[in-house]
């Protein structure tokens, strides 16, 4: 494996991070995960735009242009001969003596490396289970920061009971999953939480809503209560690695006869087609 460390592509065993890197000590940084299909990083531009937005929101100023980073990531994919899988990339504020406050002149540190391919097709076909938990995270969930401790805690609780995801509830409203966005379908209408500070505006979430617009499919962007979640006809989640994933059971309650519902299946197919179209177009341009 070769990795990108700052602006240099090197062997995995040569990549070192200083023990006083603020990402390591404070979680002081931001990250992204990009899926790769047929050697093409899907929605790479959108992921990098969100990375730069997150960095700006926490005061990390990046001098490198987004286009340059995109080109380096394409090189990283090429040297690793990747056809499918993912890329993980993170930017920390930099290295300094341990202190909560920081010097504005710190040099951000970037790391990017390949993630192995994990098929989700079987889970997408069968559907997955979820549990619910109180959303006790901070109020800037729109920033894709390295601070994921509570997400990890509730994700682990799901894993321990054989569930795939934990759906978070704040003040009786459904916000999102521990690592996903949550959608419900009721009477044929899709509904999901607004992209405000209480959720991360997922790239897959955004892409699916674009697909909805193109096809003229009705949806609502508005908060909904846990009661609406539990009374929904269909429930599914979206994320980079899970794409469109049906949820067939929540807290022991079964949905859509314990199988992916017709609307969810339609959205799955439309998303897959969008991936094929965009990756094919990118390949042809190259």
Active site residues: 144
Task: Convert the pLDDT of each residue in 85-94 to its tens digit.
Answer: 999 999 999 9
State the pLDDT at residue 286: 61
State the pLDDT at residue 283: 66
**Packing angle between helix 66-79 and helix 44-57, nearest 10 degrees?**
130
Cβ neighbours of residue 53 closer than 8 Å, sequence gap 6 or more: none
| DSSP string for residues in 103-136 | -TTPPPEEEEEEE-----HHHHHH-EEEEEEE--
State the pLDDT at residue 191: 98
- Report the percent of the chain where pLDDT is more than 70: 99
- pTM for this one? 0.96
State the pLDDT at residue 281: 78
Residue stretches of the chain with pLDDT short of 70:
283-286
Total Cβ atoms within 10 A of residue 6? 14
């Amino acid at each position: 494996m070769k990795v990108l460390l700052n602006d240099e592509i090197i062997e995995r065993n040569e990549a070192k991070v200083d023990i006083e890197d603020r990402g390591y000590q404070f979680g002081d940084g931001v990250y992204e995960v990009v899926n790769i299909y047929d050697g093409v990083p899907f929605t790479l531009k959108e992921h990098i735009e969100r990375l730069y937005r997150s960095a700006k929101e926490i005061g990390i100023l990046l001098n490198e242009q987004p286009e340059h980073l995109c080109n380096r990531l394409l090189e990283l994919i090429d040297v690793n001969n990747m056809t499918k899988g993912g890329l993980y990339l993170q930017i920390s504020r930099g290295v300094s003596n341990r202190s909560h406050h920081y010097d504005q002149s710190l040099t951000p540190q970037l790391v990017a490396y390949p993630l192995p391919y994990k098929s989700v097709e079987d889970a997408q076909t069968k559907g997955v289970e979820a549990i619910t938990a109180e959303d006790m995270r901070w109020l800037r969930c729109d920033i894709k920061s390295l601070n994921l401790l509570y997400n990890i805690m509730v994700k682990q609780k799901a894993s321990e009971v054989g569930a795939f995801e934990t759906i978070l509830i704040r003040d009786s409203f459904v916000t999102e999953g521990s690592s996903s966005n949550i959608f419900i379908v009721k009477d044929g209408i899709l509904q999901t939480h607004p992209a405000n500070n209480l959720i991360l505006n997922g790239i897959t979430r955004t892409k699916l809503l674009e697909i909805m617009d193109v096809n003229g499919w009705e949806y609502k962007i508005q908060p909904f209560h846990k009661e609406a979640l539990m009374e929904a006809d269909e429930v599914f989640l979206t994320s980079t690695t899970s794409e469109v994933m049906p949820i067939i059971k929540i807290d022991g309650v079964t949905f859509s006869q314990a199988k992916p519902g017709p609307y969810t299946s339609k959205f799955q197919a439309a998303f897959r087609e969008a991936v094929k179209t965009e990756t094919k177009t990118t390949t042809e341009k190259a």
